[in-house]
Amino acid sequence: MGWTGRDVVSIRDFSKEDIEFVLKVAERLEGELREKGSLDYAKGKILATLFFEPSTRTRLSFESAMHRLGGSVIGFSSASTTSVKKGESLADTIKTVEQYSDVIVLRHPLEGAARLAAEVADIPVINAGDGSNQHPTQTLLDLYTIKRAFGRIDGLKIGLLGDLKYGRTVHSLAEALAFYDVELYLISPELLRMPDHIVEELREKITVHETTNIESVIPKLDVVYVTRIQRERFPDEEEYLRVKGSYQVNLSLLTRARENLKVMHPLPRVDEIHPEVDSSRHALYFRQVFSGVPVRMALLGLTLGVL
């Protein structure tokens, strides 16, 4: 499938070859950027960033990526100052914004919002997170980070720790990891287990272990991917209070880890990784933040058809 004009809605829309191709293009762009400082592939193109939910890294790294490609950016970081406040539908907002831009990046609290936007728009739509559902661009930068750190993804033992029920980053990531020869450890409080339909699908392709106990599995892992409890997605505050503070990665836990274990996190963190870990050899999460720019440059350049 060609890349020009393509939407990036769900990691399920991609083959392993597609994923590997994006990672390769990102690596090439990272090198070009280091050499030249800035690039001009997207000169004259406009990115619209429509964020109906809070964001720091995703929005700013998309904007940085577009600027580094020589393009420009319009958009909003809160729907409260837009006509959505007057009752405008998402479809009308998208049909409007596409008159002003060449590619749209959308974050929305409702699952399926990005799919709807992609159906309505003639220009490419990139999903920057739709409710608890998917966050495919985060997944691509996660894979890029793992590949850069280990030189490979195959053969690794990867743990996903935390809110596997409401976390969209781990839903996308688990589905993408199933393309590789990895052993997956799903580690969460009982209340926050990965949805059954995803676990069943994963088990058809790779070995999956489920546990509530991080202490017992930490010695086996090459990567532990930690996530925040997605408090804003809980229908009931009582349910949140039952799991609040139930896990933390700290130096005491890491004394049991392999020397080369890498700790990842899509960020923002609340209390699930103690700041004392930041300066340890295990911390990979700020390097992971850096990966957002080359990977999003690749996605923007490919969907715009300028690379």
Which residue numbers are catalytic?
57-58, 86, 107, 135
Provide the residue type at 114 as one letter: A
Name the minimum Å distance from CB 109 to ligand NCD: 11
Q: How far is CA 122 from the centre of its chain?
A: 24
Q: Which is nearer to ligand NCD, 164 or 267 (CB)?
A: 267
Q: Which is nearer to ligand NCD, 227 or 303 (CB)?
A: 227
Q: Which is nearer to ligand NCD, 101 or 127 (CB)?
A: 127
Name the minimum Å distance from CB 230 to ligand NCD: 6
Name the minimum Å distance from CB 1 to ligand NCD: 26
Instruction: Tell me how far apart the alpha carbons of residues 156 and 221 are, in angstroms, rounded to a whole number.
Output: 8
Degrees, nearest 5: CA angle 153-263-179: 25
Residues in 247-266 that interact with ligand NCD by CB under 6 A: 266
Instruction: Tell me how far apart the alpha carbons of residues 285 and 87 are, in angstroms, rounded to a whole number.
Output: 39
Closest CA to 304 of 94, 43, 112: 43
Residues 6+ positions from 102 with CB-CB distance below 8 Å: 45, 46, 47, 71, 123, 304
Closest CA to 247 of 260, 268, 229, 221: 229
Binder of ligand NCD out of 108, 115, 135, 171 (CB under 6 A): 135
Interface pattern 38-67 for ligand NCD (x via CB under 6 A): -------------------xx---------
Q: Does 267 bind ligand NCD (CB under 6 A)?
A: yes
Q: Does 205 bind ligand NCD (CB under 6 A)?
A: no
HEC letters along 34-86? HHHCCCCCCCCCEEEEEECCCCCHHHHHHHHHHHHCCCEEEEECCHHHCHHHH
Instruction: Tell me how far apart the alpha carbons of residues 206 and 204 are, in angstroms, rounded to a whole number.
Output: 6
Provide the residue type at 268 as one letter: P
Q: Which is nearer to ligand NCD, 57 or 242 (CB)?
A: 57
* Other CB atoms within 10 Å distance of the CB of residue 88: 13
Binder of ligand NCD out of 68, 115, 148, 168 (CB under 6 A): 168
Name the minimum Å distance from CB 204 to ligand NCD: 26
Q: Which is nearer to ligand NCD, 90 or 170 (CB)?
A: 170
For residues 289-305, one letter each, b for 16 or more C-beta atoms within 10 angstroms of the residue's C-beta and e for the rest, the string is bebbbbbbbbbbbbbbe
Q: Does 294 bind ligand NCD (CB under 6 A)?
A: no
Residue 268: asked if its preceding bond is cis (omega within 30°), the reply is: yes
Is 247 in contact with 161 (CB distance < 8 Å)? yes
Name the minimum Å distance from CB 163 to ligand NCD: 8
For 70-156, list the strands marked E by DSSP: 72-76, 103-108, 125-130
Stretch that binds ligand NCD, among 85-93, 142-150, 223-231, 256-264 (CB under 6 A): 223-231
Q: How many residues bind ligand NCD (CB under 6 A)?
A: 12
Residues in 95-134 that interact with ligand NCD by CB under 6 A: 129
Which residues in this chain contact ligand NCD in the complex, by CB under 6 A?
57-58, 129, 135, 138, 168-169, 227-228, 230, 266-267
